[in-house]
């Protein structure tokens, strides 16, 4: 299998890259994140959409969801526009969205690749069948390592960990090409269980494990301080897991210190034209790090207009946001934006001198 996590996928879409500047006609996005609902059946302590001290999700209304007919309209628009991929994410838990079966049935009639982030509690029944047989990937977000820790970390029932492990094991037994991964969020109460959880996941046939730090502040230095006391030991757990289980379980080490400064030195976000977010409130946001921030990141609304029509009429919306002013926090697109801006800034007269 090729590289799953790489910044350079975008260079397979050169026409899209070349269309990004303000003076070029807008072309369709490559990938869209859809947040179908803001309701969640877990209550994770680090959830950026729930905690009050992080800017992400500050204007989220928990009862919001995308109506069934609007969701099907969005899927139809994406098909007409040639969108390559859709990922369902939170907001809330995508698989509690009551119209997810109808949405997936429509998606499998298109050529759009689809995937979901999930806590795994509803990864069963028809939804699991469709994802296993037709989805590209499913990634389950985890932090606990047994039923007791799940109750403590997520405020859920006493058998939730066992339920999720069982759902994933059954999912793999369905067969099909869908890649099943786990994103394990590391904090001070679970770092010592990284090896143990990797062993469990290997035994039930999970394809990949991505290990990432819990983000506890908009300030990178504060997040680094939180991890400082156990960082070295956590890295040793990861290395041991990679050595022992890496032959059959891909373990991606994304557990690292954050930048001390999240300051940006550019004034537009080109990547938001390649991958953007449709919220459960039917608002358009530039990325998952600015979703549900109405003051700083509202690009527009598709409540009373089709997504396709809004997209074709609103290229200027993608130049409203100045990252150097409002994005001085964790940013999933930062490195990609720097690469794109350098690519677009190359002197045309000197391109031959590679």
Condensed to tens digits (0 to 9), the pLDDT of residues 325-336 reads 999 888 889 999
- The H or E element that residue 244 is part of is helix 231-245
- 211 lies in some domain: no
Alpha-carbon torsion (49, 75, 111, 24), positive or negative: negative
Q: 55-87 pLDDT, tens per residue?
A: 567 899 999 999 999 999 999 999 999 999 999
Average pLDDT in the chain: 94
217 close to 260: Cβ distance less than 8 angstroms: no
- 214 lies in some domain: no
Q: 2-52 pLDDT, tens per residue?
A: 888 899 999 999 999 999 999 999 999 999 999 999 999 888 877 766 654
- 176 lies in some domain: no
Q: For residue 146, what pLDDT band results from cuts at 50, 70 and 90?
A: very high
Domains: count for the chain:
1
In this structure, how many other beta carbons lie within 10 angstroms of the beta carbon of residue 312? 14
Q: 156-209 pLDDT, tens per residue?
A: 999 999 999 999 999 999 999 999 999 999 999 999 999 999 999 999 999 999
- 210 lies in some domain: no
Structural domain including 328 reads 28-138+268-345
- 160 lies in some domain: no
- 260 lies in some domain: no
Q: 107-122 pLDDT, tens per residue?
A: 999 999 999 999 999 9
pLDDT at residue 263 is higher than 70 = yes
- 168 lies in some domain: no
Is-above-0.75 flag for pTM? yes
148 close to 194: Cβ distance less than 8 angstroms: no
Q: Based on C-alpha coordinates, what's the Rg of the chain?
A: 20
Phi, psi of 177, deg, nearest 5: -85, -5
- 8 lies in some domain: no
Residue 44 belongs to domain with CATH number: 3.20.20.70
Phi, psi of 183, deg, nearest 5: -105, 115
């Amino acid at each position: 299998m090729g590289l799953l996590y790489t910044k350079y996928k975008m260079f397979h879409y050169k026409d899209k890259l070349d269309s990004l500047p303000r003076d070029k006609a807008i072309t369709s996005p490559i990938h869209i994140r859809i947040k179908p609902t803001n309701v969640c059946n877990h209550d994770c302590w680090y959830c950026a959409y729930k905690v009050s001290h992080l800017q992400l999700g500050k204007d989220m209304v928990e009862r919001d969801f995308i109506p069934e007919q609007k969701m099907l309209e969005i899927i139809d628009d994406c098909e007409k526009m040639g969108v390559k991929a859709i990922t369902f994410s939170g907001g809330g838990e995508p698989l509690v969205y009551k119209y997810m079966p109808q949405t997936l049935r429509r998606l499998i009639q298109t050529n759009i690749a689809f995937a979901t982030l999930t806590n795994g509690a509803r990864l069963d029944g028809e939804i699991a069948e469709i994802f296993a047989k037709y989805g590209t990937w499913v990634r389950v977000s985890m932090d606990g390592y047994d039923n007791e820790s799940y109750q403590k970390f997520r405020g859920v029932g006493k058998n939730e960990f066992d339920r999720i492990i069982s759902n994933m094991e059954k999912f793999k037994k369905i067969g099909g090409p869908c890649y099943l991964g786990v994103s394990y969020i590391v904090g001070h109460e679970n770092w010592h269980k990284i090896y143990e959880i990797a062993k469990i996941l290997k035994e039930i046939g999970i394809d990949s494990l991505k290990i990432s730090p819990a983000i506890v502040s908009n300030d990178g230095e504060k997040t680094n301080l939180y991890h400082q006391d156990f960082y070295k030991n956590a890295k040793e757990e990861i290395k041991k897991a990679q050595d022992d289980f890496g032959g059959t379980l891909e373990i991606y080490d994304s557990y690292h210190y954050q930048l001390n400064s999240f300051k940006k030195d550019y004034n537009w976000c080109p990547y938001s034209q390649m991958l953007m977010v449709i919220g459960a409130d039917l608002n358009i946001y530039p990325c998952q790090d600015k979703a549900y921030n109405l003051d700083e990141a509202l690009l527009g609304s598709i409540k009373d207009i089709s997504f396709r029509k809004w997209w074709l009429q609103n290229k200027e919306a993608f130049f409203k946001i100045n990252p150097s002013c409002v994005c001085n926090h964790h940013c999933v697109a930062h490195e990609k934006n720097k690469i794109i801006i350098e690519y677009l800034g190359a002197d045309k007269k000197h391109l031959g001198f590679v």
